[in-house]
Structures are given as structure tokens and as C-alpha cells.
């Protein structure tokens, strides 16, 4: 009896494991990363490290290509230094994608501003499996930092550490545990960790891991202020580690080695996931993060944005900016969504209009889409009326595709003037803080979601919201959808246990509907998942596409975007990356996970 029960349970466990493996490999978001290619053969020049004889199996290399190799061999470094730290079993050659793209940009700049990439060879040791390697790797990393500082001589270069996987933890460790009285942290401007297990290891396999993480935690707690969202940046005169920028980045659902929830740190100044970084918009697997072109480009743009000239150190001499506020501003610019939601600016930005050069159009329809395949011969200003008393006129969803947008494309005003039988505004107030980029691999897409009633309450004199489309020869499309939010909300409650039955939550979305919001109650554990199936039933002369945004209110930096173009059907997996604070008690009210579904007008779903 017991033997048969054991056999049955074992078979069920094996089948569940195989099912999970199949879902992870076959049904999770496809890999849409583009490969990064080198223009010339990569060269790795070994840099002798003073004191490195203690670690004969480790080495330090400088990256170069083509004629730049001669400069490296002559130890002629004039750029801002970046040191790459590989992870468990990782190779120092994984730096080539980041370094090659940066080198090409430096050459295109005529070497005016550039990065010098270095990489540490840690013998591809499996430090994620055996923690006994970690202290030696940290000690050698400290020697590498000191050697790079000596290469730059009197300039006293401060560098960025870019750590992949366990390499990110080593980068965090060296500024806290290293130094031996030499204050290693003063040579580090910032740390960028990629798919790194920050505050907890992936698996606690031995006491070395536990001791390593505990010592780092104690050192950072004593020497670093915990970052508070919205708080001002600690002054340089604060704790020793406060001046270092710490940016943590996770790979998302495709990374089956380091879970989303492990990639953030309580000490980070900013956390981002690759799937919500503008111009990336993709989940990347653990190794793909090092060669995914979309992510590599954004990372290098971020690092380049912090380069400043050092004329006092000679011609073509560059370093990273000293001011941490500037570094945080650049991190937000490149790694975070560039819109702020509901809060307007303290000083509104006014936009002047010239009606003699513009076409002002008001449409009484609540939902419509217009395509201009030959472009626009004149700048067009689409007027959307504010009607405060009708629920069906409460929310506005507007999207513009392929237009040449500037910060003045969305605004509000009181249309009290008349020009050639058309109402217009002499000037309007920018609503750029309400706009957001819409993920797409083919077009420039921008959108906005506005509460028109709230907008009218804050600006009682306003009569219209304006959408400005500039003159262009490119094909342009824009859509307007004014609706009652109560009619576009769908509430879903998680089952008490497991439920593999499919349930239809929306039978038919009209071709005019461009937005729905799904609210999920009872999803508080990281193992809870909903598979959301979306199917385009019929499209009128357009190709169906869907953008899904998953917002977990208790997980800052984890907003997830998934987009699918030219689809017949797709599945989006919804899950919380970290446990809900409701589990910790304290009488907190449960916050609902929100899933915003942006549909293409002209298609029914």
C-alpha cells in the first residue's frame, strides 16, 4: 500500500517537474535580443597586477580592437575606466559586447569621449556553487582596482564596476571588505550589477556563502545609508559608501537562474528590470544579458552620459563625473520610464501656437483611429473636449505611432480664440509628464492615459486636451479612446489552491477599445501565477499588437512590460517578483496587482 502510494507520488512529482521545465523552456517569452557583433578581432592585453603573484590563476585584461591595441600595449589610457567582473563560471571575455560597442562609439567620437574597458579573469570558478572561492576573488579584485588606478597616474581615476551574476556581489564586496586601510571605495564612482543575487544567494550551499553575505551586509549597514524612494541623495560627507552609485538590474522572466526578486538591494539607488528599460523592453536570460544588443547599447549610453573632460590632465583626458546627483539623474534618464504619472511640474511649461501654420481639428467621436499613409502636409492639432459631468468621458487613452514627437505633443488649454471658423489656443500647458513610450521594435510609439475629470478639477478654465502632430512625410497613425474606466476594469481573484481550468474574462473587445485594466486580488506569493491568454479575432487593415504592463505596487522598479506584434494569440504570465508585505502582518490592507492591457485600435480581441 505505502509502496504504491510512494510510487504514485514520485510519478506526480516528476510529471510536475517536467511540466514546469516545458513551460520555462517552450512557453515563456521568446528571445528577441539581437546579437552584438565586433567589427574587428577582439584583443585582450594582459595587465600585470602588483601583488598578483598570490593569485596565479587570476588575471587582469584590457580590451581593444585594431589599431587601439597599440595604445593599450603602451599603457596609454585616457578614457573613463570600467572594470567588468564575471560571475560564477563566467569568462573575462564576456566583456567583449559591452567593450566593443563602447570602443566603436569612442572611435566615432574621434576619441573625444570614450571608455576604457578592463576585465578580470577569475579562472571561471563556480563561486555560485562553492563559496570558498569568494574571498580570494574579492582580494584579487581589490588588487585590480589599485593597479588600474596606478595606470592612470596623477589623474586618480574613479571607475565603474560592472558585475554580472556573482560578479555583481563581488563588486559590492570589494568596496566594503577590501582596502586594508587604503579606502578602496574612493576609487569607485559606481557599481552596476546585472542579474546578480544581491541580498540573498540563489542557493545557500555552504557556510562560506552565509559568512560572505553576512559580512557584506554588516559592512554596508555600517557604512551606507539605505536608499529611500523620493528622498534626497545623501551628502558626500555622510557615510563612506554613500558617494557610490549602486544600480541593480534584473533580467526578468527569461532568467531561470537568478529570480527577479533576488536582483534588487535595499542599498541600491535605483533598480530596473530589462523589460521596463526604455529601448530594451525585453526579458533576457542569464547569459544573454551580456550580449543582448538592445541592453548593451543602453548600458553604454548610460555610462557615456557621465563622462566629463579633464583638461587639466591633458588633451583627450576623460573621467566620470564626481557629483552623485548627476549620476542618479542619468541613471533615471536611461534606465527608468521617463514619465511621472499624475503629478505636474511646479512651474508649468507653456507652448505657443501658430494657427496660421497649423490645422486645428475637433472630433465629437469618443473613439476613433486615423491613418495618414502619405504623412501630413501641415502640423495638425487634434482637440479633445473636456466634459466633466459624464462618466463615459472620464478617461482618455491616446496613442501616436511614427510621428516626429517633441515634448509639446500633448497639452491642455482653454480654447477661447477663433481663427478661420476654428477654435484654438494662443498657448497651452505641456502634459509631457503624463506621456509614456509604448514598447515597439518597429515604430516610435508614444501614448498617454489621462483622467480628464481630475484634469478639469485642477484646471477649471481648460476646455480641451491637445494632441499635436508635426508636419512629416512619414506615414503616421494616431488613435483616441475616451471611455468610462468602470467599463474597462476586470477583477480577478486568485483561487485558494491551484486551478488549471481556463476561464474567459472578456469574450469580445470592440475594435474601438484600446485599453483594459485587470485587477488581481489574492496574489501575494512569488509562486502564484496567472497565464493571461490574448487572441486577436479580427483586424481591419492593421496588424494586431498588444502591450501588457504588470504593476506590483509593493515592488519598486519591477514594473514589467511585455509586447507582442503581428500576433494571432499570445500568453503573458503574471506573478509577483517578491512576497507581499501583507504576509509580514501589521494589519496592512492588501494592494492589488494591476495589469494594463493596451490594444491596437482596429482589432477586436
Which residues are known to be catalytic?
165
**Which triple of cell numbers denotes residue 338?**
521617463
Alpha helices in 244-312 (DSSP H): 293-304
Q: Cα(292)–Cα(299) distance, rounded to whole angstroms? A: 11
Q: How many CA atoms lie within 13 A of 204 on its CB side?
A: 8
Sign of CA dihedral 16, 20, 26, 28: positive
Terminal C-alpha separation, the chain? 51
As separate numbers, helices (DSSP H) first and strands (DSSP E) second, the chain gives: 9, 32
H, E, C per residue of 145-162:
HHHHHHHCHHHCCCEEEE
Q: Cα(412)–Cα(482) distance, rounded to whole angstroms? A: 16
CB atoms within 10 A of CB 38: 15
Residue 1 vs residues 4, 5, 11, 14, 220: alpha-carbon distances, Å: 5, 6, 16, 20, 55
Cα–chain center distance at 452? 29
Long-range contacts of 13-16 (CB under 8 A, 24+ apart): none
Nearest one of 89, 87, 84 to 42, comparing CA atoms: 84
Q: Which residues are within 8 A (CB) of 245 and not within 5 positions of it... i.e. 6 or more apart?
A: 189, 190, 191, 269, 324, 327, 328, 331
Instruction: Determine phi and psi for 402, rounding to 5 degrees.
Output: 70, 15
Instruction: Determine phi and psi for 208, rounding to 5 degrees.
Output: -65, -45
**Which triple of cell numbers denotes residue 15?**
510529471
Q: What is the DSSP letter of 589?
A: P
Q: CA angle, corner 197, sides to 264 and 519, nearest 5?
A: 45
Residue 443 vs residues 158, 440, 565, 576: alpha-carbon distances, Å: 39, 6, 11, 30
CB atoms within 10 A of CB 279: 13
**Which triple of cell numbers denotes residue 246?**
549602486
Amino acid at each position: 500500500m505505502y509502496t504504491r502510494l510512494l510510487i504514485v507520488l514520485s510519478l506526480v512529482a516528476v510529471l510536475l517537474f517536467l511540466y514546469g521545465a516545458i513551460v520555462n523552456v517552450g512557453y515563456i517569452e521568446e528571445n528577441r535580443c539581437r546579437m552584438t557583433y565586433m567589427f574587428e578581432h577582439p584583443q585582450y592585453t594582459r595587465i600585470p597586477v602588483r601583488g598578483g603573484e598570490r593569485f596565479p590563476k587570476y588575471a587582469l585584461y584590457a580590451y581593444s580592437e585594431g589599431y587601439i591595441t597599440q595604445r593599450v600595449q603602451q599603457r596609454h589610457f585616457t578614457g573613463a575606466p570600467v572594470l567588468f567582473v564575471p560571475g560564477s563560471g563566467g569568462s573575462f571575455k564576456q566583456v567583449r559586447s559591452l567593450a566593443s560597442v563602447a570602443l566603436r562609439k569612442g572611435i566615432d567620437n574621434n576619441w573625444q569621449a570614450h571608455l576604457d574597458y578592463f576585465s578580470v579573469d577569475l579562472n571561471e570558478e563556480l563561486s555560485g556553487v562553492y563559496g570558498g572561492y569568494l574571498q580570494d576573488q574579492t582580494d584579487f579584485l581589490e588588487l585590480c582596482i589599485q593597479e588600474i588606478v596606478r595606470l592612470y597616474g596623477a589623474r586618480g581615476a574613479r571607475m565603474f564596476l560592472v558585475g554580472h551574476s556573482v560578479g555583481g556581489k563581488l563588486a559590492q564586496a570589494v568596496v566594503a571588505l577590501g582596502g586594508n586601510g587604503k579606502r578602496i571605495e574612493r576609487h569607485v564612482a559606481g557599481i552596476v550589477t546585472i542579474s546578480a543575487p544581491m541580498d540573498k544567494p540563489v542557493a545557500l550551499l555552504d557556510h562560506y556563502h552565509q559568512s560572505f553575505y553576512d559580512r557584506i551586509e554588516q559592512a554596508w549597514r555600517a557604512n551606507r545609508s539605505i536608499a529611500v524612494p523620493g528622498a534626497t541623495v545623501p551628502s558626500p560627507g555622510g557615510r563612506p559608501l554613500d558617494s557610490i552609485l549602486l544600480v541593480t538590474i534584473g533580467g526578468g522572466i527569461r532568467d531561470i537562474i537568478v529570480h527577479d526578486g533576488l536582483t534588487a538591494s535595499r542599498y541600491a539607488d535605483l533598480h530596473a528590470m530589462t523589460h521596463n528599460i526604455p529601448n530594451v523592453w525585453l526579458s533576457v536570460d542569464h547569459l544573454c544579458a551580456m550580449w543582448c544588443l538592445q541592453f548593451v547599447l543602453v548600458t553604454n549610453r548610460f555610462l557615456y552620459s557621465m563622462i566629463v573632460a579633464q583638461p587639466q590632465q591633458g588633451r583627450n583626458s576623460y573621467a566620470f563625473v564626481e557629483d552623485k546627483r548627476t549620476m542618479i539623474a542619468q541613471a533615471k534618464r536611461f534606465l527608468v520610464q521617463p514619465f511621472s504619472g499624475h503629478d505636474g511640474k511646479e512651474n508649468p511649461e507653456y507652448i505657443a501656437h501658430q494657427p496660421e501654420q497649423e490645422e486645428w481639428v475637433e472630433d465629437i467621436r469618443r473613439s476613433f483611429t486615423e491613418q495618414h499613409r502619405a504623412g501630413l502636409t501641415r502640423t495638425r492639432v487634434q482637440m479633445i473636449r473636456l466634459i466633466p459631468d459624464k462618466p463615459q468621458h472620464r478617461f482618455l487613452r491616446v496613442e501616436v505611432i511614427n510621428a516626429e514627437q517633441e515634448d509639446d505633443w500633448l497639452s491642455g488649454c482653454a480654447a477661447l480664440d477663433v481663427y478661420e471658423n476654428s477654435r484654438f489656443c494662443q498657448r497651452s500647458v505641456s502634459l509631457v509628464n503624463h506621456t509614456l513610450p509604448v514598447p515597439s521594435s518597429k515604430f516610435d510609439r508614444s501614448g498617454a492615459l489621462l483622467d480628464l475629470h481630475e484634469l478639469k478639477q485642477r484646471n477649471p478654465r481648460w476646455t480641451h486636451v491637445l494632441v499635436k502632430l508635426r508636419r512629416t512625410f512619414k506615414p503616421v497613425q494616431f488613435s483616441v479612446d475616451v471611455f468610462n474606466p468602470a467599463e474597462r476594469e476586470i477583477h480577478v481573484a486568485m483561487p485558494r489552491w491551484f486551478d488549471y481550468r481556463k476561464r474567459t474574462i472578456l469574450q469580445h473587445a470592440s475594435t474601438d477599445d484600446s485599453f483594459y485594466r485587470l485587477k488581481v486580488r489574492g496574489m501575494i506569493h512569488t509562486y502564484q501565477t496567472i497565464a493571461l491568454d490574448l487572441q486577436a479575432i479580427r483586424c481591419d487593415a492593421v496588424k494586431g499588437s498588444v502591450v501588457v504592463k504588470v504593476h506590483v505596487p509593493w515592488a519598486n522598479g519591477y514594473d514589467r512590460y511585455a509586447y507582442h506584434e503581428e500576433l494571432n494569440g499570445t500568453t503573458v504570465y503574471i506573478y509577483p517578483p517578491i512576497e507581499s508585505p501583507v504576509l509580514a502582518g501589521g494589519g496592512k490592507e492588501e494592494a492589488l496587482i494591476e495589469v494594463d492591457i493596451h490594444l491596437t485600435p482596429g482589432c477586436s480581441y
